[in-house]
Structure 1
Amino acid sequence: MYEVRKGVSELTFVILRELNFDLTFGHPFDLLAIYLDILRSWMPEEFAKYPIADSCNAMLRDCYTEPDLVLSHSSTSLAIAVISLVLKGIDVDVPHSHDWFEVLHKSMTEQRLRKIETEIICDVYGLELRKE
């Protein structure tokens, strides 16, 4: 039993060295909550009428079924993509701002947003997009 413990300890140390002892990870849930609060102030009627916040949290939790998806994108990008997909799903537009995502994160582009949305739709939910 001691040998097993020793082996696990040594392997743990190897993993920590490979990670350069950096064990921090920015979870997108914090940013999602902030972004939803901002959007709620822009469109309170829609948030009262539709379960936007609950749907966003559920979709972001679903994204964790694909760890590579979560790790390959920044927390900011993933949170914005989830919000965008939920708003499209319930057919709600952000008023007075076509590129609302740029207000939340200046380096987010529409092309990058569509790429992440496609990954969520295809990888997390296993759906295929139609070519138009």
Structure 2
Amino acid sequence: MEAPESGAEAEEVRKEGQLASEAKVHFKVTRFIMEAGVKLGMQSIPIATACTIYHKFFCETKLDAYDPYLIAMSAIYLAGKVEEQHLRTRDIINVSHRYLNPKSEPLELDSWFWELRDSIVQCELLMLRVLHFRVSFQHPHKYLLHYLISLKNWMNRHSWERTPVSLAAWALLRDSYHGALCLQYPAQHIAVAVLYLALQCYGVEVPADSEAEKPWWQVFSEDLTKPVIDNIVSDLIQIYTMDTEIP
């Protein structure tokens, strides 16, 4: 017969369960941000900024205090301003409504519509205050582009062209925004880690890496260590595991 859990252990289990549940909510909402962003014609950087704003907001607040989809809509609106790809609130509302209610009729410009529009604008101001107006971020995208170009020049052209390492790395980077990796690791480290994982997925080896003084990934980011890469890869795998658990 197993001994009953102590109060501290039970509380720890409860917290772990709550964190796992919240992570799934954030996964679903950031998926909404990405898909709505694509439908709104947003580029990859504004979408990444919207996801980062969303994650950062909920690092500062409790999930049950706010409607996560309203926060997401406001994050999209704010990210458009930050990255100078301005979006109309009307378009954000219409796309979001269609995403969340796929079988419903288009929204009328009634009082509910204007209330929602006002809520998005007010929520944007709240987010700015909570985040202390720090809503500009350094994303891994430019680093990944640079690393891919450099690696392509190192590699055998035929082996590079027959494996979709580049596409896989970009997909991994995009999917990383389902979690809060963007807040936990430097942009350069994430860029290297997604490239590392993409190479691993396709069994592609960097030429002369074993004979080199330092591994290829440390050439790109000198302060990066293998345990950090492993942690980022592990977090990415957790995201994909969560994807299989969410309908």
**What is the TM-score with the length of structure 1 in the denominator?**
0.80
Map Cα deviations across residues 68-115 of structure 1 (whole Å, 9 max, x no partner): 123222211111111111111111111122411110011100111111
How many residues align? The count is 125
Q: CA deviation at 1:125?
A: 1.2
Identity over aligned pairs, percent: 30
Given the alignment of the two structures, is residue 52 of structure 1 paired with residue 165 of structure 2, yes or no?
A: yes
Q: CA deviation at 1:54?
A: 0.9
The equivalent residue for 1:126 is 241
RMSD: 2.3
Q: CA deviation at 1:19?
A: 2.1
SS at match of 2:241: coil
**What is the TM-score with the length of structure 2 in the denominator?**
0.45
> Take 2:151 and 2:218, find their aligned partners in 1: how far apart are those partners?
13
Greater radius of gyration (CA)? 2
SS at match of 2:145: helix
SS at match of 2:127: helix
Task: Name the aligned partner's letter for residue 114 of structure 1.
Answer: D
Among candidates 125, 145, 170, match of residue 33 of structure 1 = 145
> Take 2:155 and 2:229, find their aligned partners in 1: how far apart are those partners?
21
Given the alignment of the two structures, is residue 17 of structure 1 paired with residue 17 of structure 2, yes or no?
A: no
Q: CA deviation at 1:3?
A: 8.0
CA 26–3 in structure 1, closer or farther in 2 if over 3 Å, else same: same
CA 14–104 in structure 1, closer or farther in 2 if over 3 Å, else same: same
Runs (4+) off by over 6 Å:
1-7
The equivalent residue for 2:45 is none
Matches within 5 A, 1:1-132: 9-45=121-157, 46-66=159-179, 68-98=180-210, 99-121=215-237, 123-126=238-241
Greater relative CO, 1 or 2 (CA 8 Å, sep 6+): 1
